[in-house]
């Protein structure tokens, strides 16, 4: 009796959520999987993102959920049908990490941190005989088609899944250097997403308020208003409310060279009410004390009002408080962005996330040309595309080998 044919070998390049999910799907199908990770450990960006609570997905209806992916909504929607937010929650539970829905609709593991989830996941992959090679920086292919690595190693695989991330937080392993290794593949320029923006603060404002939070504000741009919080930095402004509008702001800056957002520093108080309060006599109080006592503005918000007045905005104080203009200069760089826009053009991929012009080469996660806001959408997208690539490999190998 002839020996059974050996299991096909697949390499996964990148040990983040997308790569790990692809590896799990393939290993469950009986494929021998080796993960190559350039850093000394796996899932470093996942761990960093979960330091203050791992927002793993969101509980909103799927139609609304997929719309969060903007131009890629229909494309991502197909993958979310097979790996939905509910599927992700069930997967977490299968690792002994049940989840809960927070007051905002965001979904978190009950343990809150990423480390228990990652440890359980890596134990599962180890039991599935998934091999892991750390400190393995991928450098391309040799003339025989084997994968090459910076340490001189070679690896021949029947299929390859690239899950190399974007270019944000490069100190955690993803720096976008993979773009130069995919000649002939259409790649949209990598750009910062979920990022802050440079503002030309005065030296006085910068020195006093860098690091100060702006709580309970509303930020408006392009006909959209977002409630939330922000943070003043030495370079400009960042934070949740800013990140939600960052894609539109970034693209407007690229197209027009300027972008102005409008801050409502007291969104829960009407313009009329503010006007009435500010018409009262100051009784010798300084402007700062008057704004603090009359309308409850914190020091950083008062500083913003004074910045606008010094720049020549002579509208009534109530109007300034309700619609304070803020001119943005440029986005913060990729190294400071939460995530990355751009990447491998979606038209380069088939339904199983194989590169159409490179049979046997698949890609998943943030290195593809989609973006999403914070709130669980980024991680869900990475996990869903990782699963899709894993299933794509299994189907392709069954047809090819």
Residue 4 confidence (pLDDT) = 45
CB atoms within 10 A of CB 298: 15
Secondary structure (3-state) at 222: coil
Report the sign of the C-alpha dihedral through residues 344, 345, 346, 347, in that order. negative
Q: Which two tokens stand for residue 335?
A: 């190294």
Q: Please identify every stretch of the chain with a pLDDT value under 70, giving residue numbers as ranges.
A: 1-5
Residue 399 confidence (pLDDT) = 93
Backbone φ and ψ for 61, nearest 5 degrees, come out as -55, 150
Residue 179 confidence (pLDDT) = 97
Q: Looking up tokens 């993102």, which residue turns up?
A: 49
Residue 376 confidence (pLDDT) = 96
Whole-number Å distance between alpha carbons of 348 and 399: 20
Residue 50 confidence (pLDDT) = 84
Whole-number Å distance between alpha carbons of 222 and 121: 42
Total-model pTM:
0.94
Residue 3 confidence (pLDDT) = 38
Whole-number Å distance between alpha carbons of 175 and 143: 26
Element (H, E) at 217: strand 213-221
Whole-number Å distance between alpha carbons of 32 and 28: 10
Contact criterion met (CB below 8 Å) for 311 and 294:
no
Q: Which residues pair with 341 in a beta bridge?
A: 191
Helix axes 271-278, 287-295, angle to 10 degrees: 130
Q: Looking up tokens 């990355």, which residue turns up?
A: 340
Whole-number Å distance between alpha carbons of 227 and 240: 9
Domains of the chain listed by start with CATH number: 9-192+339-400 (3.50.50.60), 197-331 (no CATH)
DSSP 336: G
Q: Which two tokens stand for residue 5?
A: 């044919």
Residue 75 confidence (pLDDT) = 98
Q: Which two tokens stand for residue 220?
A: 């408006």
Residue 100 confidence (pLDDT) = 98
């Amino acid at each position: 009796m002839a020996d059974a044919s050996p299991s096909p070998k697949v390499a996964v390049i990148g040990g983040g959520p997308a790569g790990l999910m692809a590896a799990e799907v393939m290993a469950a199908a009986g494929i021998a999987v080796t993960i190559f990770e350039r850093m000394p450990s796996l899932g470093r960006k996942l761990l960093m993102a979960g330091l203050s609570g791992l927002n793993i997905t969101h509980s909103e209806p799927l139609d609304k959920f997929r719309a969060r992916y903007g131009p890629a909504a229909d494309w991502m929607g197909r993958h979310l049908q097979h790996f939905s937010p509910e599927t992700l929650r069930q997967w977490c539970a299968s690792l002994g990490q049940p989840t809960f829905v927070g007051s905002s609709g965001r979904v978190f593991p009950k343990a809150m941190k990423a480390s228990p989830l990652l440890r359980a996941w890596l134990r599962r992959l180890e039991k599935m005989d998934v091999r892991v090679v750390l400190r393995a920086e991928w450098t391309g292919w040799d003339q025989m088609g084997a994968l090459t690595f910076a340490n001189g190693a070679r690896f021949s695989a029947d299929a390859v899944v690239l899950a190399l991330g974007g270019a944000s937080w490069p100190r955690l392993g993803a720096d976008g250097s993979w773009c130069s290794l995919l000649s002939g593949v259409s790649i949209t320029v990598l750009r910062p997403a979920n990022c802050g923006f440079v503002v030309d603060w005065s030296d006085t404002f910068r020195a006093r308020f860098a690091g100060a939070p702006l709580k309970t504000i509303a930020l408006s741009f392009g006909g959209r208003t977002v409630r939330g919080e922000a943070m003043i930095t030495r370079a400009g402004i960042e934070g949740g409310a800013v990140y939600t509008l960052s894609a539109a702001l970034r693209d407007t800056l690229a197209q027009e060279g300027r972008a102005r957002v409008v801050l409502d520093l007291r969104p829960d108080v009407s313009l009329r009410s503010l006007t009435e309060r500010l018409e009262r006599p100051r009784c010798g109080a300084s402007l700062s004390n008057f704004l603090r006592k009359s309308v409850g503005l914190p020091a950083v918000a008062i500083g913003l009002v004074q910045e606008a007045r010094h720049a020549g905005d002579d509208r009534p104080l109530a109007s300034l408080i309700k619609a304070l203009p803020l001119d943005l200069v440029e986005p913060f760089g990729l190294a400071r962005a939460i995530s990355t826009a751009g990447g491998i053009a979606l038209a380069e991929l088939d339904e199983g996330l194989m590169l159409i012009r490179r049979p046997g080469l698949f890609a998943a996660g943030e290195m593809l040309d989609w973006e999403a806001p914070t709130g669980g959408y980024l991680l869900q997208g990475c996990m869903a595309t990782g699963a899709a690539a894993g299933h794509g490999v299994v189907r392709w190998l069954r047809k090819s080998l």
